[in-house]
Amino acid sequence: MGAPDHMGRRDGGDMDQVFAIPRISLQAFCETNELAQTINEAAIDRRMDKAHVKVQMGGAAAAVEAYRSAPTPNLILIETLAGRDDLIAHLESLAEFCDSGTRVIVIGRVNDIVLYRELMGRGVSEYLVAPVSVLELIRTIAQLYNHDGADTLGRVIAFVGAKGGVGASTICHNVAWSIARDLDVETAIADLDLAFGTGGLDFNQDPPQGIAEAVFAPDRLDSGLVDRLLSRCADKLSLLAAPATLDRVYDFSETTFDALIDILRASTPYVVLDVPHVWTSWTRRMLVCADEVVIVAQPDLANLRNVKSMTDTLRLARPNDNRPKLVMNGIGVLKRPEIGITEFSRAVELEPACIIAHDARLFGTAANNGQMIAEVEASHAIATTFSELGRAVTGRFEVKRTKKNLLDPILARLRKRA
């Protein structure tokens, strides 16, 4: 448990560092409606999806009465407005009924390091000073169950097109390749378009097995199977390829991919999802549950409408997350009427994270050769854009390379021009 700056309130950090909560039972005993509302809002956050949350009123006294004749849950959260002596008395009574392994978080009004130390000495897991925000509460719970000895969960980044054919898969694959190269970390791409996925084509791969074997055999799914299904595309980049065949239909339930994503996150720092442009229960879940969402669009009316619909939907489903990042792709096609970037951004209430110009020769060559843009022309401004987008979606803005890159001076000049 990290050192608190004042009574359990840590440095703000950022929402990207808040891990998911495992499958636990949490019972809260509140004294104010404000905290009860905060806990209820936290309970519907995507990171709390597996937790079972129950909110009651009455504070510490109600908690003591509740567990006189009932087993305690994994986590008890108690709000107190009482002074030190009353709080300690209630906690001592509660300790008589607490099962082994039950953790307790106390939320109070007294900002006192002596009280904090006394509570820690009595086995309280954390003490927070009210008011507590939704994200602060989730972060505190996550830190109890994702401590230094626990497995670190990877970051899930989902790419989706606002419309079919806007280049979302191409951008997804290039950004994933850039993340693996620039940050020198293991990265995995999951091509979720099982019928028409282009991951194998873009990386010049033809693996005999891929993502279909994982989702159609859930009883055999484990980390060993996933490792065998991943095909190596680069030094630190792996691909779960789509079969891209039509010999079966690919109708999935909402949670079909959950176990697969969990396994990938447990072993890979960055998991990049290539989400097809369809709207089903499972694609919606992939976008809602991702740590970062990137929407790729082109400057026409249908894309504008779809981006607005998608961002509005995701904003409601992900109230405590960053808004999706918008990538405007294929800008400047000769003789094609286009909606201006400024007008497009104003309409969807989202500034583009990057703007990629239309370059039929560059993208066509890369696609036909099964290469990434940087492999075709490393000094091109679009290759630099993919690198910068990769750092933006991972939250790591410094490129770490083991050896000096001879192209650095050229890339620096391109960044200044951009």
Domains by residue range for the chain, with CATH: 15-145 (3.40.50.2300), 155-417 (3.40.50.300)
Residue 218 CB coordination number (10 Å)? 11
- Contact at 8 Å (CB) between 180 and 237? yes
pLDDT at 10: 39
pLDDT at 206: 87
CA–CA distance, 418 with 415 (Å, rounded to integer): 5
CA–CA distance, 79 with 245 (Å, rounded to integer): 56
pLDDT tens per residue, the chain (418 residues)? 333 333 444 333 344 457 778 888 899 999 999 999 999 999 999 888 888 999 999 998 898 888 888 888 899 999 988 777 788 888 888 888 887 788 999 998 888 788 888 888 888 889 998 899 999 999 999 888 876 444 557 899 999 999 999 999 999 999 999 999 998 889 999 999 999 999 999 999 988 889 999 999 888 999 899 999 999 998 899 999 999 999 999 999 999 999 999 999 888 899 999 999 999 999 999 999 999 999 999 999 999 999 999 999 999 999 989 999 999 999 999 999 999 999 999 999 999 999 999 999 999 999 999 999 999 999 999 999 999 999 999 987 543 333 344 444 544 554 555 4
pLDDT at 402: 36
Q: Amino acid letter at 18?
A: V
CA–CA distance, 294 with 271 (Å, rounded to integer): 13
β-sheet with 103-108: strand ranges across: 52-57, 25-30, 75-79, 103-108, 126-129
Instruction: Report the Cα 159 to chain-centroid distance in Å.
Output: 12
SS3 258: helix
pLDDT at 102: 87
Residue 416 CB coordination number (10 Å)? 7
Q: Is the model's pTM score more than 0.95?
A: no
Angle at CA 135, nearest 5°, toward 59 and 86? 20
pLDDT at 380: 95
**Ramachandran region of residue 59, left (φ > 0), alpha (ψ -120 to 50) or beta?**
left
pLDDT at 208: 83
Q: Give how far Cα 373 sits from Cα of 23, 208, 356, Å.
A: 42, 26, 12
pLDDT at 9: 42
Backbone angles phi, psi at 97, to 5 degrees: -110, -5
pLDDT at 403: 39
Computed from CA positions of residues 105, 111, 116, 118, in that sequence, does the dihedral angle turn out positive or negative? negative
Residue with tokens 């110009």: 357
Residue 246 CB coordination number (10 Å)? 10
